[in-house]
Structure 1
Amino acid sequence: MTLGIGIIGAGPVTQAIHLPAIAGLSDRLRVTHVMDVDAATAAAVAARAGAAYGTSVDDLLADPAVDLVAVCSPHPFHAEQAQAACRAGKKGVLVEKPLATTLDEARAIAEASRESGVPVVVGAMHTYDPAWLAAERAWGDLPETARRVRSRIVLPPNARFESAATQLHADPVFPPRSGDPAAAIRGAILGLAIHNLPLVRRFLPEIESVDLVRRLQPFGYVLTLRGGGRTAELIGYLHGGWRTEWTFEVWGDGGELRLDFTPSYVRAGSATAELRTGAGTRLFGPYPGNGYTGEWRHLAAVATGAEPLRYGPGDVVADLAYALDLADRAALLLRGAAA
């Protein structure tokens, strides 16, 4: 069974990431409708997929060829559009991260999902990466014994990857700079750090304090946080060169874990994972598909009843609550330092 996908928002992420991922799953998925507020962008992107297009969300949701909805619009529109997709009785919804801009909005999406029975998947691609899932099945009590976590995201600005990954219809934009340092750090956490925050939360479930916040120029951050006797260091940096490092590491009393992810715009398969315990070292990956392929494959399986939903409404709301808590604490600390 091939499921039709309606995409709300046809920007760079849709063009450079989702369209190639969906094309690789053509045995089960195809894009049938593209919506964007810019009609020319919608038309150009839809032409690549042989899909209908328009500027109306209502028209997309009313299209009988649309079984699944991908909400790839700007963050402030996620809540309203995800709820509308649930109320339209579609078979599934994928919402790009962050799920929403407030906790109340996230809870409203979760409630709409529960009431309608329409599953909602958040595009936290690393939680669907085959190497992450393989390591998760093998790591035993590492989440309970973890003592230190580190997430490093060092990349060129997205524009360089986007232009290399595909011929974009619109010119990509470098992440905007804010004159308010606290607003800028909050945006960096919800725009960049959030990619790995569900992984961080698995090993440091509760944030008790944020001890260090530092902005990096032209765009980035260094953060340290503590909770439950554990510490985490988060580093994110978009720079002018080509060097990349996207890693996630955990050290515990009985083992260590390291994952090396490929950049989002590079279709080079999954991450690789190295798990060290007293029993030896185990390696996982690379596997053919990455986390984006994994999330679409999973949503298709959930929509057809082949798999249960891996992360339920409570999970995705808790992930957003964690990200918002970190962003608020970091902004408050930065404001205090500037006072």
Structure 2
Amino acid sequence: MNLSSRHEPARRLGVGILGAGPVTQAIHLPALARLRNILEVRHIMDVDESVAESVAARVGAAASNSLDALLADPRVDIVAICSPHQFHAEQVIAACKAGKKAVLCEKPFAMNAEEAARISAVSAETGVPIVVGAMHTFDPGWLAAEQAWGDFPEQVHTIRSSIVLPPNARFEDFATEIITRPAAAQPDYSDIEVIKDMLRGGIMGLAIHDLPLVRRFTPDFDQIEVLQARHVRPFGYVVSLRTPSRTIELRAAMNDTWKPEWSFEAFSDDEALRIDFTPSYVQAGSAVATFTRGTVTTSFGPYDHNGYEGEWRELAALAAGAKQPPSAKTLIDDLTFALDIAEATAARADADHAAREGASA
């Protein structure tokens, strides 16, 4: 099964990247280097001009500290938005209005449903397709399983996302020489507001990679209830959820583990799917999907590229007009699903904390 050669454009398309932090340096630039036959980094913007210049020098691109300068660069066909979350919506809208061919926005692409609706309207008005960087939905292992599972999603009753990783910095340093990264603060674990923010951050920064997969198996996703929400130190979560027809478990821990593991599982009475993803910063090919129906087990993968490279291939095809853009409704539903879980998780933690405080009073 060759998933790597579909819809490749005839000429190289220019890429401009907003934000030159660790994700750009350790994930996107290595992925784009493997796709230099179809994509070329031509402009890198960062508010710290020295960082922009240093990162741009690695790939022979122009550098600036101005959004307007990047958007005005006629050599840029595709804009990748890798800036802090709060700037995403306005930058996506600006890129669409600048007449670019496609936009990649790191997750989340908006901070609320109102911003998402504005983005959808501008994308429809300008005809500029938008891809959200939930890389697992572009992984060839996931896509191969999706093509083979038939009516399995309708039969599923239990879904589980499990993530065990070392801190991002370890993988970043393995992948490249990071020029700069934000300083880490020591959280106050006794403050419930800190814990709630960390749980929200875990859902919107880590679980969000798998939540579009979860939603694929959750038809009643708009009726979600959080049964348990627990913060795992130093960074992680255990969240149990249910809908009228599904049980969902989200688990993550980032610590000093030596062996990373990232898996997604779904179960019905007679079938089971397990997907083992490679860690985000490891350029080691695709996930491996294992689908079991009765006594028969079928495996898919590994293929020669991961979901990050897959999303760039998708962007190139969209920019070249070789594929239809994703549904705006799908993007908005994925976002609201994640936001609802993040807020319900924080509310559950708050209620449990208040109950403990009341019991000890």
Bin the TM-score by the shorter chain: over 0.9
Cα offset for 1:277? 1.0
State whether residues 158 and 174 of structure 1, in contact with CA within 8 Å, keep that contact through their aligned partners in structure 2. Answer: no
Measure, in 2, the Cα distance between the counterparts of 1:249 and 1:70: 30
For residue 72 of structure 1, report the CA deviation from its aligned partner. Answer: 0.3
Q: CA deviation at 1:241?
A: 2.6
1:162/1:172 contact within 8 Å kept: no
Residues 208-256 of structure 1: per-residue CA shift (max 9 Å, x gap): 3110001000000000110132101100110023221100000013311
- TM-superposed CA distance for 1:92, in Å, is 0.2
Please state whether the residue corresponding to 2:35 is helix, strand or coil: coil
TM-score (normalised: structure 1): 0.97
Instruction: Supply the AA of the counterpart residue of 2:19.
Output: G
Alpha-carbon distance, 1:147 to partner = 0.6
Residue of structure 2 equivalent to 1:123: 133
Give the structure with higher Rg (CA). Answer: 2
Q: Does residue 200 of structure 2 align to residue 190 of structure 1?
A: no
CA distance in 1, matches of 2:150, 2:353: 43
Q: Which residue, 315, 324, 330 being the options, matches 2:339?
A: 324
Shift of 1:302: 1.1
**Distance in 2 between the 1:60 and 1:259 partners?**
38
Distance 1:243-1:173 versus aligned 2 partners, 3 A rule:
farther
Q: Which amino acid aligns with 2:24?
A: T
**Corresponding residue for residue 298 of structure 1:** 314
**Aligned match of 2:76:** 66
Cα distance 1:177–1:100, how it changes in 2: closer, same or farther (>3 A)?
farther
Q: Is the 8 A contact 1:97 1:122 kept in 2?
A: yes
Once structures 1 and 2 are overlaid, which stretch shifts more, 58-67 or 277-286? 277-286
Partner of 1:23: 33
What is the alpha-carbon distance in structure 2 between the residues aligned to residue 172 and residue 77 of structure 1?
17
Q: Does 1:262 align with 2:278?
A: yes
Q: In the TM superposition, what are the counterparts of 1:163-242 in structure 2 within 5 Å?
A: 163-171=173-181, 173-174=183-184, 177=187, 179=191, 180=193, 181-205=195-219, 206=221, 207-242=223-258
Matched residues, percent identical? 55
CA contact (8 A) 1:177 1:184 kept: no
Deviations 1:83-142 (A, max 9, x none): 000000100000001111111111111111111000000000000000000000001111
Instruction: Quote the residue 1:10 is aligned against.
Output: 20
1:88 aligns with 2:98: yes
> Counterpart of 2:170?
160
* Aligned partner letter, 1:94: L
Q: What is the CA distance between 1:327 and its match in structure 2?
A: 0.6
Superposed structure 1 runs of 4+ greater than 2 Å apart:
171-179
How many residue pairs match? The answer is: 338
Aligned partners of 1:307 and 1:208: how far apart in 2?
Answer: 33
- For the 8 Å contact 1:204–1:228, the answer to whether it is kept is no
Residue identity opposite 2:46 in structure 1: D
Question: Any idea what the Cα deviations from partners look like across 1:133-161, whole Å, max 9, x if unmatched?
Answer: 00000011111000101100110000111
Unaligned 5+ runs, structure 1 = none
Residues 176, 58 of structure 1: alpha-carbon distance in 2 compared, 3 angstrom cutoff? farther
Please say if residues 164 and 257 of structure 2, whose CA atoms lie closer than 8 Å, have aligned partners that are also in contact.
Answer: no
- SS of match in other structure, 1:47: helix
Q: CA shift at 1:278, angstroms?
A: 3.4
Does structure 2 conserve the Cα–Cα contact (< 8 Å) formed by 1:151 and 1:233? yes
TM-score by length of 2: 0.91
Tell me the amino acid that sits aligned with residue 224 of structure 1. Answer: S
How far is 1:172 from its partner? 5.5
Q: Distance in 2 between matches of 1:81 and 1:124?
A: 18
Q: What amino acid does structure 2 have at the position aligned with 1:242?
A: W
Deviation at 1:19, TM superposition (A): 0.4
Paired amino acid for 2:271: G
Aligned partner of 1:137 in structure 2 is 147
**Letter of the structure 2 residue corresponding to residue 228 of structure 1:** P
Contact 2:141 2:287 in 1 (8 A): yes
Contact persistence 1:61–1:88 (CA under 8 A): yes
| Counterpart mapping for 1:265-280 below 5 A | 265-278=281-294, 280=296
Question: Which stretch shifts more, 227-236 or 164-173?
Answer: 164-173
Equivalent position amino acid for 2:131 in 1: V
Asked whether the 8 Å contact 2:159–2:249 carries over to 1, the reply is yes
Q: Distance in 1 between matches of 2:257 and 2:291?
A: 31
Deviation digits for residues 32-56 of structure 1 (CA, Å, limit 9, x no counterpart):
0000000110001100110001000
More divergent stretch after superposition (20-29 vs 237-246): 237-246
Q: Is 1:338 matched with 2:353? A: yes
Counterpart in 1 of 2:328? 313
Match of residue 247, structure 1, among 263, 266, 271: 263
- Let me know the Cα RMSD of the aligned residues: 1.3
